Amino acid sequence: MNALSQQDLDALQAALGDDAGLTRAPVEVGGAKIDVTLAPGDEDALARSIAALAARGIGAIVRGGGTRDAFGNTAQRARVVLSTKRLSSVIEVDAEEGVARALAGTPLGELREAVEAAGWALPFDPPGLHTTLGGTLAAAAIGPRHLGFGPPRDLVLGMDVV
């Protein structure tokens, strides 16, 4: 498969805007030879990036911490990694309601610390030092706590999806 054209790269950079979230270091993920990594800095840049990828027919692999790269089918046609690493933030922890809001790229360790500081325990515990909230939900990743709390999908009250 051919590398991305300069027009494709320009369109992807334009989707990111002034954000410096495009890296041209070639890598291989799950057998796919990746030309660039896009790391949008906010939800709007993510939405524009996905629209640009779709409009140009460019395949992408969504990647957070990379702890589940071997899961699923190998994405042979992907040319781009769409990284959620910069979409990382615990937005809110409501101690009274026992509800937390966080972005997909938030590492579970960071979310766990914020929730515990509010007097609660995070029921997600899949293995992996770099495991993210988005990856946990996308992969339905579980650990021993799922026996008492249920699978991740049972713990989500709402979700905004791009």
Would you write out the chain's pLDDT as a tens digit for each of its 162 residues?
578 899 999 999 999 887 678 888 778 887 788 899 999 999 999 999 999 999 999 999 888 887 766 666 667 788 999 999 999 999 999 999 999 999 999 999 999 999 999 999 888 887 777 889 998 888 888 888 888 888 888 888 899 888
Residue with tokens 């002034």, as numbered in its chain: 18
List CB contacts of 158: < 8 A, sequence separation 6 or more.
none
- Assign 90 to helix, strand or coil: strand
Please list, in sequence order, all residues whose beta carbon lies within 8 angstroms of the beta carbon of residue 54, skipping any fewer than 6 positions away.
Answer: none
Give which of 121, 144, 130, 34 is closest to 82, Cα–Cα: 34
